[in-house]
Amino acid sequence: MTDTPDAPAETASEPETADVLVVGSGIAGCAAALQAAREGSDVLLLTKATKPDDASTDWAQGGISTTRGDPESLKEDILDASDGTADPDAVDTLVENADDAVEDVLLDTLEIEFDETEGGEFDYTREAAHSEYRILHVDAATGTHILRPFLNHVDDHENIDVRQDTAALELLTHEGRVHGVLTDEETTGHPIYAGATILATGGIGALYTRSTNPDDATGDGIAMAALAGADVADLEYVQFHPTAYAGDDPFLLSEALRGEGAVLRNGDVSESEDSEARETESPGGERFMDDYHPQGDLAPRDVVARAVETEREETGEVVLDVSTLEGEFAEEYPAIAEKCRDRGVEGDEIPVAPCEHFLCGGIDVDENGRTSLDRLYAVGECARTGVHGANRLASTSLLEGLVWGLRAGGDAVESGADPEIVEAPELRNSDPELPERFAAEKSIRLKRTMDEYLGLERDPDEIARASAVLRRLKGEVDAYIRTRTARDLYELRNASVVALLIARAASENTESTGCHYVVSEGESAAEQPADD
């Protein structure tokens, strides 16, 4: 009787690897993936988005700044808007690479059809705190017109694999080096190993009740990097846009509107006894921005946002009057006009209020997007390049994402690291699922804390209260996440980590600078000296 040969043993599947791994599908992530692929690397781009409007880039309205051949002028405007806090070297990197990046990617590669004049030249516009007309735009929906063709181009590239509806949960680290990420593709986590990992996960809008960002902007990249030990900086500088629709379901009213002549008015309606004067006065209230800043309605965002909030408190409302635009509002800005109609806003006066818009700080990076952890890069809103300092100049976010995305993608390839397989943690998913509304209800608590204590104005005692509430909240989330693997729980974990980091940074900075405005208890911004 002959022995039957043993059946071949089952072999474990090979670990998944990529030369360059990009997490995030906005303009910064797409730019990083494109540049790495151009230089011959196999690129895997992960995104938890399932459609373009889940990315912050798709929500960007105003446009993308260029230098129009005068980088020094743009640099001066960026530094001025930042209240003198932007890093001059980082600003040099931005302005010196701006026009080449726009021409290479947006004009030559993607062939974006930016608005033109009747003469066939680019219709450059101007926004608040810009001294020149230098901003390229498509209507007031520039982000949409850039991102969608960019995603299509990246998706069609032979060296890039795009994986949607996939969330990164943890960074894979070993001895100060990042080796990839753990995703939610399996209930206990799916590791993906990479020679270089580039975080391009966007901002933190989901930490506030009112935001111009997508609902899934939960600060994932910042939290993962910070938990892995990466340096973060300037997290107290949360920028609020001054002109978002004041009602339910807020949306952005682009700064381009004020750049082209729209004005802000408060609720103080003139009661002139002169009938002829009454006929010529606006049915809205008085213009007020000249009382706050020499640039009036075109002052830096932080100044305008605080002024709008003060006037809303003192006079009942603030409206953006579009009757003073050079062109017809509905014809020049059809996308914004449609959103107004959808919300029942008729006429030329649109009620506005400040709304969380952009995080100026984030994961600390150098001129090539390198973080303090080896083989980890960060680009876009999750990164702190130093360009924005304490307050961002309008229409520089898309530009920063494009420039740093290209630089990080190229540097990741040049570093030439091969993927290394390290031990990946196995997540536990043993306990029953939590109630459907669990994460949502905890998120509401977090948002209310951020709204109340870490908004436009911050009081040191209230920052301390916020820290205490957020620590308790994070402790609760950590207790549940130890035995459950669910995307909404990890997003809540990430949001609570970033919220705590913002509170800590705010408590350590006792002076008002840019977006970070410190007032003593019972004092408002209106009672403090106006910016020069």
Q: Enumerate the active-site residues.
A: 301
Q: Please tell me the distance from the alpha carbon of residue 94 to that of residue 417, in angstroms, as a whole number.
A: 27
Q: What SS3 state is found at 497?
A: helix
CB 56 within 8 A of CB 62: no
* HEC per residue, 280-349: HCCCCCCECHHHCCCCHHHCCHHHHHHHHHHHHHHHCCEEEECCCCCCCHHHHCHHHHHHHHHCCCCCCE
* HEC per residue, 78-111: HHHHCCCCCCHHHHHHHHHHHHHHHHHHHHHHCC
CB 161 within 8 A of CB 289: no
Read off the DSSP letter of residue 518: B
The number of helix segments (H) and strand segments (E) in the chain equals: 15, 16
CB 86 within 8 A of CB 389: yes
- Burial of 6: CB neighbours in 10 Å, binned 0-12, 13-18, 19+: exposed
CB 319 within 8 A of CB 349: yes
Question: Encoding tokens for residue 293?
Answer: 């800043």
CB 359 within 8 A of CB 385: no
